[in-house]
Amino acid sequence: MGRVSTHAALGLIASILFLAQPVVIAAVFLAVILASTYLFLFLLLTLYAAVPALGVLSLVLEFAALHGLGDVYQRKDLQKNALRFVVSLLGGTAAFIPLVILLALTLGDCQGDLCHLLFLVWLWAAAWLLMAVVPYRFLAKAYAALGEAADSDAFRRAAKWNWRGALLFIALVGALLILAARINAPKGYHALKKADATGPNPPPP
């Protein structure tokens, strides 16, 4: 197995794990509707444990794949954007918690439905900016660089839909676009793996 195949296999696994998250969420919620009280608690704990675990593992493998492919294709921009994606996503997630507390304290003396609405709007806007726009912009750049280096339409589409999805995530439809982008990513990784199995690693550009 060549170097491209090795890193592409990691990316393929990462994409599958990412796509498994909404499946797990949907399956647990469906089971919760039909379940008894004790089974409900078990499934709820499973949801809280499984989804973050899948997300973290997917993130680590995706970074390893993109960083390794950046080394193969000698694309420092690919490696830098992959690193920025991971750092900004983890940093944004970590910053979101104290931001929630700060917003709650700021609006603590405010009463009424309008205050609650303002809190939810600010909360959603912060989550959109910190955990969608910033990190997924870097992921889109990484996919675009990989699409250019490997001449892959699948990664070009993944880059396009990732960025559009991040911008529209505040309206929820963006989640579907990001999902579409992540469906294109495994297609690209599979194509790289298949191409590497039938020929030598590509020369540096």
Residues 104-163: pLDDT tens digits?
777 667 777 777 788 788 888 888 888 888 999 999 999 999 999 999 999 999 999 998
Locate 106 and state its tokens: 């700021």
Give pTM, 2 decimals.
Answer: 0.83
Percent of the chain scored above 90 by pLDDT? 44
- pLDDT value for 1: 47
Higher pLDDT residue, 1 or 59?
59
In this predicted structure, which of 19-28, 180-189, 194-203 has the lowest mean pLDDT?
A: 194-203
**Alpha carbon of residue 132 to chain centroid:** 9
Selection from 48, 54, 129 nearest residue 89 by Cα: 129
Question: DSSP letters of 106-125?
Answer: HTTT--SHHHHHHHHHHHHH
Which three-class secondary structure state does DSSP give residue 174? helix
